[in-house]
Structure 1
Amino acid sequence: MLAMNKFRILGAAVVAVAATVLSSSCNDKRSTGWEYAPNMYEHIAYDPDQKNPNFADGKTAQVPPAGTIPVGFVKFDYPNNKDGYELAGTEVKTMLPQTQNNYAEGKVLYMHFCSPCHGETGQGDGTVVAHGFPPPPSYSKGQSSRGGAMKDLTDGKIYHTITYGVNAMGSYASQLSPEERWKVIMYVHHLQTL
């Protein structure tokens, strides 16, 4: 008799839990159930385009304080003109170690970003030339539009050109980090000897 009462109590408890679950799950069809870590989608931070009462101008996106530099930013204090190009050519030298790994990474970066115009061997015969664009000069035989032979370009001149661009070549500063630019330069120096 005691065992039978236990089964009745257990059965009633199971029915009560099942009824509670069933009735609570059917109330709101839009409910996603229990929330785990709701701050993942209901954040308290302001979005950059929202009004913000914490600032006098009411904007969330504020201009950084003068003189601040973003994390990882490498300053390049040479102006985007011929004088800056010439100065960079004499003063800027790579600090990246000349290792086989850096050379191999430079080759991969060159093939992805530079070879469409400059060609795989740096002769100015990339795929864009086949589509009617003017060819860039050859690294080993051509003449720079800024004067001098392309085979004599220094680290600083190539870095300046990658950073700012020249003629039809745009800047690659947003595509290549400063360290990646040095790796590409390492590979371009190899192409200058071909």
Structure 2
Amino acid sequence: MLAMNKIKVLGIASVAIAATVVITSCKDKRSTGWEYAPNMYEHIAYDPDQANPNFKDGKTAQTPPAGTIPIGFVTFDYPNTKDGYEKAGTEVTSPLPQTEANMADGKVLFEHFCSPCHGMNGQGDGLVVQHGYPAPPSYSSGVSSRGGNMKDLTDGKIYHTITYGVNAMGSYASQLAPEERWKVIMYVHHLQKQ
């Protein structure tokens, strides 16, 4: 008799569990159930592209105040002109010390960003030249399109060229941070002596 009661109780419990599963699964299909931390899904902050009633113009993404610059931004106050190039050539010098570490960093950066055109030794024989593109002048014996020998280019002229680009070379300002540009320049001076 006791065994029959146990079987009866187990049967009733099984039917109750099965009925509960069926009833809850047929509920609203859009419900994902309980949320552990709803504020992770329904944040109160505005997205940059959303309307925002907290500002007069109704935009979340506001224009920065006039005259402000981003943290870490370094200005280069020489225009992208021949005069700006010449002025930078006489006034701008590298703020970095000549160290082995800076030279090694400059070599790595040069090999990654500059050697495809300028070649590993700065002779203007990079891979793109081998594919039919015009060769840039050699650092040690070439002549600059802006006048003067490449081996005589100053810190400022090279920095100006990296920042703005010239002829077929585009600007590398978005690829190389200002400190990285100075390291590349340090290595280019090494190649100019070869």
TM-score scaled by length of structure 2: 0.82
Distance in 1 between residues matched to 2:40 and 2:180, nearest whole Å: 35
Give the share of equivalent positions with the same residue, in percent: 76
User: Which residue pairs with 1:160 in the alignment?
Assistant: 160
Number of residues paired by the alignment? 174
Distance in 2 between residues matched to 1:32 and 1:159, nearest whole Å: 59
Distance in 2 between residues matched to 1:139 and 1:49, nearest whole Å: 48
Note the alpha carbon deviations across 1:134-164, whole angstroms, 9 max, x for none.
1100000100000000000000000000000
Which 5+ residue runs of structure 2 have no aligned equivalent?
1-12
User: Which residue pairs with 1:132 in the alignment?
Assistant: 132
Which 5+ residue runs of structure 1 have no aligned equivalent?
1-14
TM-score scaled by length of structure 1: 0.82
Matched, 1:54 2:54: yes
After superposition, the CA RMSD in angstroms is 2.0
User: Which residue pairs with 2:171 in the alignment?
Assistant: 171
Q: Secondary structure at the match of 1:114?
A: helix
Structure showing greater Rg: 2
Closer, same or farther: CA 32–166 of 1 in aligned 2, 3 Å? farther
- Counterpart AA for 1:31: T
- Counterpart AA for 1:103: M
Closer, same or farther: CA 32–78 of 1 in aligned 2, 3 Å? farther
Higher mean alpha-carbon deviation, 40-49 vs 25-34, is at 25-34
Higher mean alpha-carbon deviation, 164-173 vs 57-66, is at 57-66
